[in-house]
Structure 1
Amino acid sequence: MSNFLLSVHVLGAILAIGPVAVAASMFPPAARRALSDPADARAAAAVRILHRITAVYAVIGVLVPVFGVATALSMGILTQPWLLVSMSLTGLAAVVLITQVIPTQKRVLAGLEQHTPAAKDDDAAAVMPDLSIARRLGMTTGIFNLLWAVVVVMMIYRPGQDGYV
């Protein structure tokens, strides 16, 4: 059973967290392009798609730690220090994604939607986010991805254990 749970956990990480990491990383440069030219419908569409991928796969990604805990329980390693640190870093990555990355993406999208050619004239007074928001988002996304990279390394290396997986 442990092998099945571990397989689902690893596949889930690849298929759910991978797209979140890639789409979230692609969002800041796409946002800079779209914010530089709000009339560019293709740039705005790219930003919308990247946000949707980030948000949808983030929800699916909840299954990764669920299967991770199930795997750890079945293997009897839930109290191992390297695993507890990995779980804490996973939680921190989730907090960064939920409280920083996704909400900032939504702010960029809201600003773009108010400044598209199809927007009503009464929306013209809305403030367009400046390019610095995309730069800060790039940094925040980098922190999110770094946390996940550390978790992956810890899952493979298992610091404090005798050898590798």
Structure 2
Amino acid sequence: MLLEHVLLSVHVLGGIVFVGGSAVATSLFPRYAPALDGEGRSRDVAVALHRITGGYAVFGLIVPLVGMIMAGVQGRMDEIWIIVSMVLTAAAALLLATQIYPRQRQALADPGDGDSARLRQLSMVSGFYNLAWAIVVVLMIVRPGSGAGA
């Protein structure tokens, strides 16, 4: 029982701090990324948000790892809400690693290359990333098919 409480605490705190931090950073980055229009832009803020996106994403790996350990300890790995959450987590990680982080790096390296359209696309991809995490949170609360209810 104590182990489950520790795992749940680490899982929830990691989700709030690391996943939440990367979600906020990915959402804010396009607003501050350098662009030709220059209005409301700050390269320093964008660089900080890019670092947060990458750093918190790495530390955020503890969230699904601890979640899977906890689900295994509880014997819940076959429940649909766990499986769907793992698929969505993998999709979010894939978006972050292959789309968001590289596009942020590109926007910092070359701010004048199709800036507004590129930043709108980055905003859209970041929105999908955040939507995936929002659905995972709802699944963690509702736990459909768990037999235990909420």
Task: Give the TM-score normalised by the residue count of structure 1.
Answer: 0.83
Distance 1:81 1:64 in 2: 18
Retained in 2: the 8 A contact 1:157–1:163? no
* Residue in 1 that maps onto 2:120: 135
Retained in 1: the 8 A contact 2:77–2:83? yes
Retained in 2: the 8 A contact 1:30–1:43? yes
Distance 2:145 2:71 in 1: 16
Q: How many residues align?
A: 147
Gaps of 5+ in 1: 113-126
* Residue in 1 that maps onto 2:45: 46
Task: Give the TM-score normalised by the residue count of structure 2.
Answer: 0.91
Show CA shifts across 1:122-146 (max 9, x none). xxxxx63421110000000000000
135, 143, 148: which one pairs with 1:158? 143
Amino acid aligned to 1:137: L
Moved more, 73-82 or 135-144: 73-82
Show CA shifts across 1:96-136 (max 9, x none). 11000000001001114xxxxxxxxxxxxxx6342111000
Shift of 1:15: 0.9
* Residue in 2 that maps onto 1:5: 7
Q: Percent identity?
A: 44
Show CA shifts across 1:22-43 (max 9, x none). 0100011112xx20346x8x71
Distance 1:88 1:73 in 2: 16
Q: Helix, strand or coil: the match of 1:79?
A: coil
* Residue in 2 that maps onto 1:65: 64
Distance 1:161 1:79 in 2: 9
Gaps of 5+ in 2: none
* Residue in 2 that maps onto 1:82: 81
* Residue in 2 that maps onto 1:30: 32
Shift of 1:85: 0.8
Distance 2:27 2:128 in 1: 10
- Cα RMSD over matched residues? 1.6
